[in-house]
Each structure stands twice: as C-alpha cells, then as structure tokens.
Structure 1
Amino acid sequence: MRLPKLQISVAITALLGLCSMGTFCVLPDANNGAPPDPSFSCADSEPPAADEAGLFFSDPGGGARPLAADAVLQLEYGPQGGQHVMVTVRHHTSSDGVWAYRLAFQPEAAEPGTPAPEAPRMPVLEGSNTVPVNACASGWTETTAPVFINIMDSGLADTAGEIPKARGLLRLVATPREAGEKASAEVRVQIAM
C-alpha cells in the first residue's frame, strides 16, 4: 500500500524540480518575447463614402486615418532571431465573416546606376504573413498584426553609424472565406533597422 503513494510523491517532487529549473513548466511571459498575436476590434463610425477606401493600412496613432505614404515602421527583433513590423488595418464590410489577410512587404527596386563609393548600401528586406480575421457585422474591423521580415542584406552604416531605412511597398490582399470579391490596399513605407 505504501509503494503507490511513494511513487506519486516521487513523481510530484520530480515535476516540481523540473518546473523550478524551467525545463518542464511553461509559465506565461508576455508572449515569451515573440511577436504579439493579431488583435481585432470593431469600430463605430460611418461607412466609407463612394470615393473613400473601405480597406487601408491605418495610422497606429488614430485608427480612422490612413497610414501616410513613406511612414517609418520600426523593425522589432524577437528572442529567437526573427524580426517583424506591426501594422494596423482598417476594413469595412457589409456583413460578418472570416477573411484571410495576406500581408507583404516588397522591397523597392534598386535605382539604375552605381552608387558612389562613400554612399551607404541600402538594406534589402522582404516579408509576409497571412492572418485570419473575424470581420465585424456591417461595420469597421480594426486589426493589428505582425509582418514577418527577412533580412537579405542589412546595408552599410553611414559615417554617423546609421543604417539607412529600407524602402518598399506594404501590400494587403483580403479574401473572404465565402465566395466574394477580394479587396486590396498598398502604401509605400520605410522600415527602420
């Protein structure tokens, strides 16, 4: 009779020991340094006018304002060597449903010609992510999500030690799960290293 109780107490002691060493138990730690999961919220405001976009990248400081062309997005580094930029999207739909957002950053093509020897080399980045989004019923859905970035060439620092910002096009293609028309948006941005 004492043997099973002994085995249980040894097992519990072993689990507690592993947990205290951090090798077995996983405790919540603000997403463990990984990029945050996408967040979604419904926003109250008028539908877009006939000449206004119903899908656009929005300014993180004010959801109803579109992200300005050439806005600077900060590259964030994860603990496992990955990197991402956070973007906010505003989308007006006439009904609820699940949409797939395909986000991408495409680098600007290099200008023809050879740069001067003292000019710093521009960084070359590209990135993407696909996010499922639960659209709000007949209204605006605001989504914040990461775009995972790959660095192909980090560029050269200038004389002040600064690496130039990577320039490119941030694109979004939104596709409803049910048959329907795709929507898309794009804006030129810079990514600061």
Structure 2
Amino acid sequence: MRLLKLRTSVALTALLGLCSMGTFCIWPDPGGNNGPPDPSTACADGEPPAAGAAGLFFSDPKGGATPLAEDASLPIEYGPQGGQHVMVAIRHHTRGGGVWAYRLAFEPEAADPAAPEPDPAAPEPDPAAPRRPVLEGSNTVPVNACASGWTETIAPVFLNFRDGGQADAAGEIPAARGVLRLVATPRDAGEKVSAEIPLQIAM
C-alpha cells in the first residue's frame, strides 16, 4: 500500500488532546477486539477536489487517489486476542492541518422489504447450506490531517458477528454485505463531512 511520509505522531498525542478537550475519547474495546495495527496517516500529492467532487472518500486499499469501487470485497483479519477487524483506506482533503475524529461503522445490509415473509410451515433450512454472516462494527480513530492538502489514512474497523457466520459443508463462509460509513469531525469546529459505500467483507 502506498503511503508516503508516514506520520508516527498521531496515536498518543492526538488521543490525549481529544480526551483533554472532552470532545472525543477512545477507549479499548471491552470485548477484547484490540490488536489490529494502529491507524497510519500520510500526506499525499494531488490537486484539490474540483467543484462538486468529493473531498472525503474511501480509497482503493492499494493506495493512491483511486476511489474504492462500490460492492468491493475487503478481507476480514483476525487479531491476536480473538477479535476481528477490516482495514479501510480513506482519502481526505482539508484546508488546514489539525486533529479530526473519524467515526467508522459497518452496518449490515437491510432485509429486502419486497421479500416474502418466511413460510412457518416450510422445513428448517439445511444446516450444511451456506449462511450469510451478519457482521456489524465500528471504531473511532484520531487523525492528524495534513495542512492544506490530502491525507491518506489506513484504519481498522472492529467487527462482531451478530448472527450466523456458520461455515457450509465445505468450510466456507459467504461474504457479508453492508454499508461502510464514515463521519469526520474536526476537534476545533462543529462542521462534519461524511462518506459511505456499499461493500462486502470476505471471511
């Protein structure tokens, strides 16, 4: 993944600054989902977004200015303490530097309202049949944005199995489908910017 001029001063300094302001505090996940890599940020070259173009978007995990394609598949990763997460790439253009809080969330795909109600007389599904896992999760990370330019961030989203997730007879688990959302808020202002994209998480 292409991340130039990696910044290492983000995690502790920004976290302490956010908590001291009483604005955003990020505590370890009590469910034990700690262990993925810390968020990383880098300043990136590029022209400012054109009028009407997005200044905040999910980017291709391979790096660069390419937006992540809708319905792309990201791999789930398993941490050393038993949790699971997915790493996402974000590209954000700001007019000046400063600490932002990125609130990331993966929401499972909603049921199709046009789908027929299940027949109570229908037989129980085959336990060996593939089942779509229902994943959900979130994370808030501090990001030290680059001054008047693009910031590239790689950050984890902690995930939990809400239901399902059983493997089929071949040991495979289908990809989870849903929407990845991001709300970015600067520490010293009330403005918010957001982005979202439908995607899949592959087991």
Q: Pick the TM interval, shorter chain.
A: 0.7 to 0.9
Once the two structures are TM-superposed, the CA of residue 180 in structure 1 deviates from its matched residue by 3.7
**Secondary structure, counterpart of 1:57 in structure 2:** strand
Once the two structures are TM-superposed, the CA of residue 133 in structure 1 deviates from its matched residue by 0.6
Q: Which structure has more strand as a fraction of its residues?
A: 1
- In 1, the alpha carbon distance for the partners of 2:134 and 2:61 equals 24
Residues 104-129 of structure 1 deviation map (CA, whole Å, 9 limit, x = unaligned): 00000133333993553210000100
Where does the alignment leave 5 or more consecutive residues of structure 2 unmatched?
1-33
Once the two structures are TM-superposed, the CA of residue 161 in structure 1 deviates from its matched residue by 3.4
Is the contact made by 2:71 and 2:198 (CA closer than 8 Å) also made in structure 1? yes
Which residue number corresponds to residue 79 of structure 1? Answer: 80
Once the two structures are TM-superposed, the CA of residue 139 in structure 1 deviates from its matched residue by 0.2
Which residue number corresponds to residue 20 of structure 1? Answer: none
- In 2, the alpha carbon distance for the partners of 1:62 and 1:97 equals 22
Q: In structure 2, give the amino acid aligned to 1:122.
A: R
Q: Give the TM-score of the pair, scaled to structure 2.
A: 0.74
1:129 aligns with 2:130: no
Which residue number corresponds to residue 7 of structure 1? Answer: none
Moved more, 159-168 or 86-95: 159-168
Where does the alignment leave 5 or more consecutive residues of structure 1 unmatched?
1-32
Q: In structure 2, give the amino acid aligned to 1:179.
A: A
Once the two structures are TM-superposed, the CA of residue 157 in structure 1 deviates from its matched residue by 3.3
Which residue number corresponds to residue 5 of structure 1? Answer: none
Equivalenced residues, count: 161
- Structure with higher Rg: it is 1
Once the two structures are TM-superposed, the CA of residue 80 in structure 1 deviates from its matched residue by 1.2
